[in-house]
């Protein structure tokens, strides 16, 4: 029988994913990923203790009667998610840590271990998205419940990953159904609230970044595109391209962050018309299947649960150019995901707007 590992976070979605697979009679193994190092001071649990989320996952696995293990990915998570997150903010970008985690940790390090180390066939997660296995082709689709859809954060998956992926909760009608199923299985996570924040940061992300990249929190000038200084800001790390608030400008005009000049620590602001662009460079481009035509029509989603925007993509060897039908505000570092109807075609990282 084929064996499937389920990445269990301790939340209701991944618990239900495990439950649904176990109910189908599959050989299910639950794993919880340690993403931040266990404490080593005297008060920290050293042996036989995970943190609270790990304990929730363990209890859920116990209720389901499936084997359960905690695996340590703190190293790779620290390097590929946390460090990048800090560097990205310090460089004036707006990173998406969930995308980085999916790319480097869940669907690279974990998936590789699941297959190569533990000899399993598939990996399942609690993401709200669907995988359609049409013969040799594996397609990534929006969740049945559009309101919960998380396919945006999975765009980096290719055929190799999709072939081994199971996303059972993406088939459910809505979150209420997920909770009903959790209750039916007696899962202790049934009523657990959804997590919203960046998982590795307790409070304000700015404090987190400041502690690790203090140089990004030195004040600098706020300028208009023509060089006129109109105010001061508290640091590049506090700013997001495209944002309206947080800029110390008192012109009475609605201005947005247009770009960040790292060398001079300057923030350039402008009106919505100045800031919103139609053309964006995209780096780290990937496709879920074989690469489409050099130029293709798409619906681009520029933020988690964002509205799809019509446009064209020009694919090159080293990236792509996104040309939107209408101007939009996007921060560099964010992911752009290209859809064809409900299917994820691919995506990449927004580099910088071209004016």
Partner 1 sequence: MKRVYLDHAATTPVDPEVAEAMARVHRDVHGNASSIHAEGRAARAIVDEARERVAAVIGAEPSEIIFTGGGTEADNLALRGVLKAHRGERDGLVTSAIEHHAVLDTAHDLEREGVRVAVVGVDATGRVDPRAVAGAIDGRTALVSVMAASNEIGALQPIREIGAICRERGVVFHSDAVQAVGAVPFDVRELPVDLVSLNAHKLHGPKGVGALYVRRGTRLATVQTGGGQEKGRRAGTENVAGIAALGLVMRLAGERRERESVRQAALRDRIIDGVLARVPDASLTGHRTERLPNNASFVFRGADGPSLVMALDLEGFAVSSGSACTSGDTAPSHVLLALGLDAETAKGSLRVTVGRATTSGDVAAFLAALPPIVARIRGAAAVPA
Contact segment (CB under 8 A) with partner 1 among 26-34, 168-176, 227-235, 240-248 equals: 26-34
From residue 158, give the alpha-carbon distance in Å to each of 62, 161, 230, 355: 33, 5, 46, 32
Nearer to partner 1, 55 or 343 (CB): 55
Verify binding: residue 199, partner 1, rule CB under 8 A.
no
Angle at the Cα of 261 from the Cα atoms of 257 and 264, rounded to 5 degrees: 130
Verify binding: residue 34, partner 1, rule CB under 8 A.
yes
Verify binding: residue 1, partner 1, rule CB under 8 A.
no
Contact segment (CB under 8 A) with partner 1 among 10-18, 31-39, 244-252, 342-350 equals: 31-39
Handedness of CA 230, 235, 240, 246 (dihedral sign): negative
Nearer to partner 1, 45 or 248 (CB): 45
Binding partner 1 (rule: CB under 8 A), the pick from 54, 168, 242, 353 is 54
Verify binding: residue 118, partner 1, rule CB under 8 A.
yes
β pairing state of 266-270 and 277-287: unpaired
Binding partner 1 (rule: CB under 8 A), the pick from 25, 43, 65, 119 is 119
Verify binding: residue 66, partner 1, rule CB under 8 A.
no
> What gap in Å lies between CA 96 and CA 354, rounded to an integer?
21
Contact segment (CB under 8 A) with partner 1 among 117-125, 209-217, 239-247, 279-287 equals: 117-125
- Return phi, psi of residue 173, to 5°: -65, -45
Catalytically annotated residue among 47, 48, 98, 101: 101
Verify binding: residue 50, partner 1, rule CB under 8 A.
yes
> In the annotation, is 101 catalytic?
yes
Verify binding: residue 46, partner 1, rule CB under 8 A.
yes
Give 216's DSSP letter: G
Nearer to partner 1, 70 or 162 (CB): 70
Name the minimum Å distance from CB 42 to partner 1.
7
Give 188's DSSP letter: T
Verify binding: residue 239, partner 1, rule CB under 8 A.
no
Identify the helix (H) or strand (E) that includes residue 21: helix 12-23
Binding partner 1 (rule: CB under 8 A), the pick from 23, 83, 108, 299 is 108
Crossing angle of the two packed helices 12-23 and 175-184, in degrees rounded to 10? 60
Nearer to partner 1, 8 or 300 (CB): 8
Mention every residue, 6+ apart, whose C-beta is less than 8 A from residue 332.
92, 93, 94, 241, 349, 350, 351, 352, 353
Nearer to partner 1, 18 or 277 (CB): 18
Nearer to partner 1, 8 or 329 (CB): 8
> What gap in Å lies between CA 45 and CA 51, rounded to an integer?
8
Write the DSSP string, 148-217.
G--GGGGTT--HHHHTTEE-GGGGSS-HHHHHHHHHHTT-TTTTPPPP-S-TT-SS-HHHHHHHH-GGGG
Binding partner 1 (rule: CB under 8 A), the pick from 37, 214, 219, 246 is 37
Task: For residue 255, give both structure tokens.
Answer: 């201005």
Phi-psi region of 48 (alpha: psi -120 to 50; beta: other; left: phi over 0): left
Residues of this chain that interact with partner 1 (CB under 8 A) are 3, 29, 32-34, 37-38, 40, 42, 45-50, 54, 67, 69-72, 76, 108-109, 112-113, 116-119
| Catalytic machinery residues | 101, 199
């Amino acid at each position: 029988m084929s064996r499937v590992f389920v990445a269990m976070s301790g939340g209701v979605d991944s618990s239900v994913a495990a439950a649904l697979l176990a109910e189908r009679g599959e050989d299910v193994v639950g794993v919880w990923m340690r993403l931040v190092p266990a404490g080593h001071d005297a008060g920290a649990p050293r042996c036989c203790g995970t943190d609270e989320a790990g304990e929730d996952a363990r209890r859920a696995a116990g209720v389901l009667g499936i084997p359960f293990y905690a695996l340590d990915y703190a190293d790779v998570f620290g390097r590929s998610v946390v460090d990048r997150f800090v560097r990205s903010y310090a460089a004036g970008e707006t990173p998406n840590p969930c995308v980085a985690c999916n790319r480097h940790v869940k669907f690279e390090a974990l998936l590789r271990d699941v297959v190569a180390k533990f000899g399993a066939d598939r990996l399942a997660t609690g993401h709200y998205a669907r995988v359609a296995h049409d013969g040799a082709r594996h397609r990534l689709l929006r969740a049945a419940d559009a309101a919960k859809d998380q396919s945006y954060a999975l765009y980096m998956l290719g055929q190799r990953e999709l072939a081994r992926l199971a996303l059972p909760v993406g088939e459910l009608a809505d979150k209420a159904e997920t909770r009903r199923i959790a209750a039916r299985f007696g899962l202790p996570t049934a009523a657990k609230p959804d997590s919203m924040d960046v998982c590795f940061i307790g409070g304000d992300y700015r404090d987190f970044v400041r502690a690790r990249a203090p140089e990004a929190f030195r004040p600098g000038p706020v300028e208009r595109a023509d060089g006129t200084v109109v105010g001061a800001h508290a640091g590049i790390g506090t700013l997001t391209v495209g944002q309206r608030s947080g800029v110390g400008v008192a012109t009475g005009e609605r201005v947005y962050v247009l770009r960040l000049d790292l060398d001079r620590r300057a923030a350039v602001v402008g009106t919505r018309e100045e800031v919103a662009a139609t053309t964006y460079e995209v780096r780290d481009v990937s496709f879920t299947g074989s690469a489409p035509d050099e130029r293709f029509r798409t619906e681009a989603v520029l933020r988690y649960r964002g509205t799809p925007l019509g446009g064209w993509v020009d694919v090159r060897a080293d990236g792509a150019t996104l040309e939107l039908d209408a101007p939009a505000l996007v921060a560099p570092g964010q992911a752009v995901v290209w859809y064809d109807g409900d299917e994820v075609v691919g995506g990449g990282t927004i580099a910088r707007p071209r004016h």
